[in-house]
Amino acid sequence: MALDRRVRRTRFAIHRALMDLMLEKGYEAVTVTEIIDRADIGRSTFYAHYTDKRDVLYASLDELAGFLRAHRDDGEGLFGFSLAMFEHAHEQRLLIRALLGRRGGTVVRDRIAYVIGELVREQLVAHNPAPAIPLDLLVAGVVGAYMALLARWADGDEPHTPAQLDAAFRQLVTPGVAAALGPGRPG
Amino acid sequence: MALDRRVRRTRFAIHRALMDLMLEKGYEAVTVTEIIDRADIGRSTFYAHYTDKRDVLYASLDELAGFLRAHRDDGEGLFGFSLAMFEHAHEQRLLIRALLGRRGGTVVRDRIAYVIGELVREQLVAHNPAPAIPLDLLVAGVVGAYMALLARWADGDEPHTPAQLDAAFRQLVTPGVAAALGPGRPG
DNA sequence: TCGGTTTCCGAACAATGTGTTCAGCAATGA
DNA sequence: TCATTGCTGAACACATTGTTCGGAAACCGA
């Protein structure tokens, strides 16, 4: 049995309101009161569904997580999600800027980094469960570089294409990762 | 002529209060009211010196910037600041955790990333003003990886040593950077 | 269509935080 | 000493958060 229609409507309205507002002012600057007004729901209703602004964000980012998982094994070799994500970011530039730009927030970045980190870790472990660089550091470094490229692109004026970004990411990170994973060539 | 003694005392008290409070709850959670109370100064006094919590932070981070500059050319090759910074972070682990951990904030991370980014950019340009990867992306990626390692270490339980962190950073990033900078071997 | 269940409303509330103002007192440095 | 500068502290308007609760409304299944 699906959710009560009212619940579906309410949650969607909230989700939609958060997205819209983020596009306008970035995640950090959005307030619960604004979400309520925009979604045109009662205050108590909001808190009946979510505890926080953060809570809404997490729910909304589940979509992104699904997207990334779907593209996990794109292309050849590691980091299949990379190009797809850059392309997605390119289409949704405003949204990505709202999420990752200066007006984003630690919460957003950390969450996205976490989601991507899971993917990266899975792939790295599959190739070598005990790499030369401690796994947690390796994952952190790779994801850190990726997120930084994404953020820089979202915030800056440079019109890099998704392919350029993907290439930059791979050129920067792949040699070090390959070395850390050892001789066995990842396919 | 130096600053009025009262000014010096007030600013130092504010600086000190922010540091203490960050150690206890992380930058984000600290409030201006708390700083005022801890520093034992009047509210209007605070706003006479700083506009913001952020403003105080920036002033405080100038120290860090000086430190990093002083170690810019440590060791051989690029990223001389790296080991010194990790060592500094090791001694001041609590402070670094307060700054970069989950309870830190975008403001803090961005500012530190900016400071480090300046250093990295200077060094990269010195070796090759037009690397294979667009300079801004290269810098972003390198700094992103570095910050991520620092943050992961500050937040996690793993007792990595500064030397290990420095090694991990270099192993991950150096090959890609060298390739991007081209054949001329950086000294 | 009925009827019990679930959700929504909305207004009020206490708590907390921000940034400003101003008149009077106190410390400073020359 | 004394003019200058900085500090005080309380009050203020304002914004935001998260909770509460009785009554109205919508929903879903029979």
Spatial distance from the CA of B114 to the C1' of D17 (Å): 33
**Measured between CB atoms, does B137 come within 8 Å of chain A?**
yes
Q: Which residue is nearest to nucleotide C18 (CA to C1')?
A: B32
Ordered structural domains, chain A, with CATH: 5-49 (1.10.10), 53-181 (1.10.357)
Report the pLDDT value the prediction gives residue A184, as an integer from 0 to 100.
53
- Pairwise CA distance, residues A4 & A1, whole Å: 9
Q: Do B106 and A110 touch (CB under 8 A)?
A: no
Chain C positions within 7 A of any protein Cβ atom are: 6-12, 16-23, 27-30
Q: Do A149 and B137 touch (CB under 8 A)?
A: yes
Closest Cβ opposite residue A102 in set B28, B110, B158: B110
Spatial distance from the CA of B97 to the C1' of D14 (Å): 34
Start-to-end CA span in chain A (Å): 43
Report the pLDDT value the prediction gives residue A186, as an integer from 0 to 100.
45
Q: Do A152 and B136 touch (CB under 8 A)?
A: yes
Looking at chain A, which residue has its C-alpha nearest residue B169? Answer: A141
B123-176 pLDDT, tens digit each? 999 999 999 999 999 999 999 999 999 999 988 888 899 999 999 999 999 999
Q: Could you tell me the mean pLDDT of each successive run of 10 residues in chain A, 187 residues long?
A: 89 96 92 97 96 93 90 90 94 87 83 93 92 94 96 87 95 95 61
Report the pLDDT value the prediction gives residue A102, as an integer from 0 to 100.
78
Closest Cβ opposite residue A141 in set B137, B149, B160: B149
Report the pLDDT value the prediction gives residue A136, as an integer from 0 to 100.
93
Ranges of chain B whose pLDDT falls below 70: 1, 183-187
Report the pLDDT value the prediction gives residue B76, as an integer from 0 to 100.
84
Report the pLDDT value the prediction gives residue A18, as an integer from 0 to 100.
96
Its pTM stands at 0.88
- Neighbouring C-beta atoms of residue B46, cutoff 10 Å: 23
- Pairwise CA distance, residues A28 & B107, whole Å: 11
- Pairwise CA distance, residues B95 & B152, whole Å: 14
- Pairwise CA distance, residues A73 & A123, whole Å: 9
Which residues in chain A are closer than 8 Å to B148, comparing Cβ atoms?
Answer: 113, 140-141, 143-145, 147-148
Q: How does DSSP assign A89-148, residue by residue?
A: HHHTHHHHHHHHSTTS-HHHHHHHHHHHHHHHHHHHHHH-SS-SS-HHHHHHHHHHHHHH
